[in-house]
Amino acid sequence: MIIKPALTTLFVGITLGVWAQAPMVKTAYTLDDIIQLAKDQSPDAFRAKHTFRASYWEYRTYKADLLPSLSLDATIPEFNRSLKKYQLSDGTYSYIEENSSSASANLSMKQNIGLTGGNLFVTSEMMRTDQLGSNKSTTFFASPFVIGFSQPINGYNSFRWKKKIQPLKYEEARRRYLQDMENVSMKAANLFFSLLISQQQLEVAQINSANSDTLYKISRGRYNIGTIAENELLQMELSNLNAGKALNEARIQLEVEKFRIRSFLGFNDKVDIELSIPGAPPSGELAYEDVMSKVGTNNPDLLSYDRELLESQERVALARSQRGFQANLYARYGVTQQAAILRDAYKDPQEQQRVSLGIQIPILDWGLGRGKVQMAKSNLELARIRVQQARVDFNQQLFLQVMQFNMEDDQLYIATKADTIAQKRYEVTKQRFLIGKITVLDLNIAQNERDAAKISYLNALSTYWGSYFNLQSIALFDFARNKELETDFETLVK
């Protein structure tokens, strides 16, 4: 009976030990895999999602502000026992005890008027007051309905400006989300190729290290029989040492790039990522006019320029309204009654009316109001100049980016051809070195050119994909499938 717990403990210990020493899981990923993972689970994707959600609820708040609102305010109950000071007819003061309880309810409906900037309201109120103590009594106060409105008269209507700005702002947020997700794809592609290049550099370093070691041994044998000079042997030994150093550096750099992409994708350190080399982007040559047409329809930056101008115009209108004559018209009409019995409080109600017009006229402000208006006007002109220049720069940059993209196919072809030639040249040079036709220096040059050509090919492929995603991000258009980028925005806000 004592042996079983011991065996159980031993089994658990062995299991935990095996788990703790579990090897890393190596998984092969394509470029599409990495991009999809980034869109699904990267912090940048979550940030884009919640940025859009904030804009969505801001827009919903604006829409709700234009709809009727219904609210109930109630106090159930309120108890009051205190001394209150009253002034008598002879000018002296007396303190009288107040001992009462009350309860009240107020149902109100409010509707903002977008056309004028005012608001309309309807209320219904009921209150019960109980006098406590020796003189007990109960009083009911009822106001079945009160209707009224409040209207500012100053030339500025915030609802009118919101009607112009908020839909534009929301549409900008929709497009900005699509652009942010394309930027996630672009960042994922950059990390993908950084790791792929490091992966390739390690493979090259491993081959070079093995080749250098073999060639050094051959050179040492030749030196021993006197067919090569000592300086050639030393050069080969130095090349062998440099190859070992490059191999160690490549291993470190590979781990650095793996850490970066794991961090971006939310993976733990148990996931070992292995990448495969992708082909070229699935798109041919693009016409600038076609790209510009897509950009003019979809790009969020162009909408932001329009929004910036509208917001500057709104600030001018607000400054003007605050400078001069301001007034607020308030009116209400309703019925009211009081009684000792609740049902009597709703019989034969008495009318109540209230109308007021409040005005504010600055007499002496030492140019404060005028200064605010002029400052708002100057800011508007600055915004116009800034937007105008931004549009010019935007169009020029787009032209250059389309031109660069159309050149990337040729650049990739050249890099591919150079890689093939450099690889073949190295093999030929290596064979000539083995038969003693060339020196170590010639072999090192061929090897360096081969390595550089391989990395140059991957860099060209990376630049090609980066340019492709950049144009998709600007135009919000899938050029491979010939359709606009889209997503289910309703799902994003659930």
Res 196: pLDDT = 95
Looking only at Cα atoms, what is the longest distance across the chain? Answer: 136
Res 7: pLDDT = 37
Q: Cα–Cα–Cα angle for 468, 470, 472, nearest 5°? A: 70
Res 26: pLDDT = 64
Structural domain spans, the chain: 44-62+161-306+381-492, 72-113+118-155+326-361
Amino acid occupying residue 351: E
Decide: 487 and 181 in contact? Cβ < 8 Å.
yes
**The listed CATH number (1.20.1600.10, 3.90.110.10, 2.40.160.40, 1.25.40.10) that belongs to domain 44-62+161-306+381-492:** 1.20.1600.10
Res 24: pLDDT = 60
Tens-digit pLDDT string for the chain (494 aa)? 343 444 344 343 433 343 344 456 667 899 999 999 999 999 999 999 999 999 999 999 999 999 999 999 998 888 888 888 878 888 788 888 788 888 999 999 999 998 888 999 999 999 998 888 778 888 999 998 899 999 998 878 999 999 999 999 999 999 999 999 999 999 999 999 999 999 999 999 998 899 889 888 988 888 898 888 888 889 888 989 999 999 999 999 999 999 999 999 988 878 888 899 999 998 788 999 999 999 999 999 999 999 999 999 999 999 998 887 888 999 999 999 888 888 888 888 888 888 887 777 777 778 888 899 999 999 999 999 999 999 999 999 999 999 999 999 999 999 999 999 999 999 999 898 888 888 878 888 898 899 899 999 999 999 999 999 999 999 999 998 899 999 999 999 98
Decide: 87 and 93 in contact? Cβ < 8 Å.
yes
The pTM of the full predicted model, rounded to 2 decimals, is 0.83
Res 5: pLDDT = 42
Kind and range of the H or E element at 137? strand 137-153
Report the candidate in 171, 186, 184 with the shortest Cα–Cα distance to residue 49.
184
Q: Cα–Cα–Cα angle for 417, 420, 426, nearest 5°? A: 135
Res 471: pLDDT = 95
Strands 137-153, 477-478: pairing is unpaired
Res 25: pLDDT = 62
Decide: 272 and 50 in contact? Cβ < 8 Å.
no
Those residues with Cβ within 8 angstroms of residue 154's Cβ, 6 or more apart along the chain or in another chain = 321, 322, 325, 326, 327
